[in-house]
Amino acid sequence: MSPRTFARRFQQETGTTPYRWILRQRVLLAQRLLEGTDETVDAVAGRTGFGNAAALRHHFVRAVGTTPHAYRRAFRGPEAA
């Protein structure tokens, strides 16, 4: 299957592009890690494939509407800050 055919069929099945699907999955994993671990934002970025905190922050804000740090504070309380 060619990459173009794959991308077209993927979008037909999922309603999104492969790139956007991967980004969303990475953000969802980041959310779980921010809620359930004490790892730094840099560590979460590395584990989720974003590479660095700046890239994670950029995509996280676009998808969730808040920064990773603010998200963690909201879902884990002030002791997580």
Contact yes or no for 51/45 (Cβ under 8 A)? yes
pLDDT, residue 46, reads 97
Mean pLDDT of 28-39: 96
- Mean pLDDT across the stretch 21-50? 96
Mean pLDDT of the chain: 93
Contact by Cβ (8 Å): 9, 16: no
Q: Answer yes or no: is pLDDT of 76 > 80.
A: no
Contacts of 7 (CB under 8 A, 6+ apart): 17, 18
Q: Are 42 and 33 in contact (CB under 8 A)?
A: no
Whether residue 21 is predicted with pLDDT greater than 90 in this model: the reply is yes
pTM of the predicted structure, to 2 decimals = 0.86
Position 79 scores a pLDDT of 61
pLDDT at residue 44 greater than cutoff 80: yes
Domains of the chain: 3-80 (1.10.10.60)
The whole-angstrom distance between residue 14's C-alpha and the CA centroid of its chain comes to: 18
